Structure 1
Amino acid sequence: MFSGAQISLYPMTDDFVAVITKALGALDPYRERLRIETDDLSTLLVGTPDVVFAAMRDLFVAAAASGKHCVLHATISRGCPGEPDDPMCQTPELTGPMAPLAERKAKALATVASAPLSGQATSAQLSLYTLGIDQHMDEIYGCIDFLKSSGVFSRSKNFCTKLSGDAAAVFATVGEALVRFGPPAGHVTIDLTVSANSPSAH
């Protein structure tokens, strides 16, 4: 299994460099459990989904703590057949047969409910893609049903679903969407945009 995310952080301020460099310190507790590669477009985080999402969450919350309008965009993937297996990415939830949809939704909701609050209000939109399976719409509809019960569901939009709430619950919800829907060893991707301190909200 290979899992990870390509992420880009955009603070909407003249001093964006300072906001980004200060926020990068939030990745320090995760560096031994992640492979991190940066270029001029994005930063790759490779590791188990729980660690990848925790690192993304903490990076984003640290940047948003500046009070500036901050946006994070991420392309997230697990099980890509074009990537080699990586022991760093081994995840017990992504092995074995696919459990019934109701059981997976219940586990996802329990995980989100247990997420400690970050204190950072956040909005996000995501699109889930379960690839290479005939019943992909069953999995997508199951995920949408989970999102509607997650406590952070805002509304359905064209091509995506909007979430709003505490950043910890939002990132936990997106993480569960990646892990719980689609075959355990299958290829699943998410396109994610997260925003905080947007002037549009006012």
Structure 2
Amino acid sequence: MFSGAQVSLYPMSDDFVGIILNAIEALDPWRDQLRLETDSLSTLIVGPPEVLFPAMRDLFCATARSGIHTTMHATVSRGCPGEPDDPICTPVAGGPRGMSLADLVAAGRDRVAAAPILELDIAAQFSLYPLGIGHHMDEIYGCIEFLKNSGTYDRSKNFCTALRGDAGPVFETLGQAFTGFGFDTGHLAMDVTVSANSPSDR
């Protein structure tokens, strides 16, 4: 399997270069589990699906804790048939999930409830795309049910779902949506935007 994310970080500051370079250091604790490649557009993060969102959380929070309006956009994928299998992407939890959608909803809710509280309020919106296998709407409806019970659900929007809350539970919600829904043998993609310290909230 191949899983990873193309991540772009946008601090709204004249010192954006220094801020981004310092934030990338927040990925250091994850480097033994991830492959990282940065270019002029984004940072590629490749590794186990369960590790991607905690790493992105730390990258984002390293900037957002400054109080600067910060956004991050990520395109996240697992099981892409156009990418070769990579041993670094082996899921930490092992093989097929083997759980009903109702059990996945309950398990995801419990993991979000246990997520660390980071004392940083953020907003997020994302879209989930299970690809390549029939009955994909069952997975999407299961994910929506999980989101509405996650404690971070804000509202449904055109083409996406909005989340709001502390960074710990919100990123855990995103991670559970990514790892818990979509077929094990299929391609799953997510489009994610996260924001903190937005002047729109004032």
> Conserved in 1, the CA contact under 8 Å of 2:50 and 2:179?
no
> Structure 2-normalised TM-score?
0.96
For residue 192 of structure 1, report the CA deviation from its aligned partner: 0.1
Structure 2 distance, partners of 1:80, 1:24, is: 26
What pairs with 1:86-165 in structure 2 (closer than 5 Å)?
A: 86-91=86-91, 93=93, 95-96=95-96, 98-165=98-165
Q: Is the 8 A contact 1:4 1:49 kept in 2?
A: yes
- 1:12 equivalent in alignment to 2:12: yes
1:54 paired with 2:54, answer yes
Correspondence 1:12-91 to 2 at 5 A:
12-91=12-91
The aligned length equals: 202
CA 185–173 in structure 1, closer or farther in 2 if over 3 Å, else same: same
Separation in 1, partners of 2:94, 2:181: 10
Q: Distance in 2 between matches of 1:172 and 1:150?
A: 10
C-alpha distance in structure 1 between counterparts of 2:68 and 2:97, whole Å: 45
Q: Which amino acid aligns with 1:35?
A: R
State the identity %.
59
Q: Which one-letter code corresponds to 1:201 in the other structure? A: D
Contact 2:34–2:88 (Cα < 8 Å) also in 1: yes
Runs of 4+ in 1 over 3 A off after TM superposition: none
Q: Tell me, what secondary structure is at the counterpart of 2:18? A: helix
Post-superposition offset of 1:99: 2.3
Unaligned runs of 5+ in 1: none
Structure 2 gap ranges (5+): none
- Contact 1:127 1:192 survives alignment (8 Å): yes
How many Å apart are 1:95 and its aligned residue?
2.4
- Structure 1 residues 93 and 130: alpha-carbon distance in aligned structure 2, compared to 1, 3 A threshold: farther
SS at match of 2:32: helix
Question: How far 1:60 sits from its partner (Å)?
Answer: 0.4
The letter for the 2-side match of 1:120 is: L
Structure 1 residues 123-160: Cα deviation after superposition (integer angstroms, max 9, x where no partner): 00000000012111111111011101100000000000
Secondary structure at the aligned position of 2:24 is classed as: helix
Q: Give the root-mean-square deviation of aligned CA atoms.
A: 1.2
Aligned partner of residue 7 in structure 1, secondary structure:
strand
Q: Distance in 2 between matches of 1:80 and 1:153?
A: 28
The amino acid across from 1:63 in the alignment is: T
Deviation at 1:90, TM superposition (A): 0.8
Of 74-83 and 104-113, deviating more is 104-113
TM-score by length of 1: 0.96
How far apart are the structure 2 equivalents of 1:162 and 1:142?
A: 16
Residues 94 and 179, structure 1, Cα contact 8 Å, conserved in 2: no
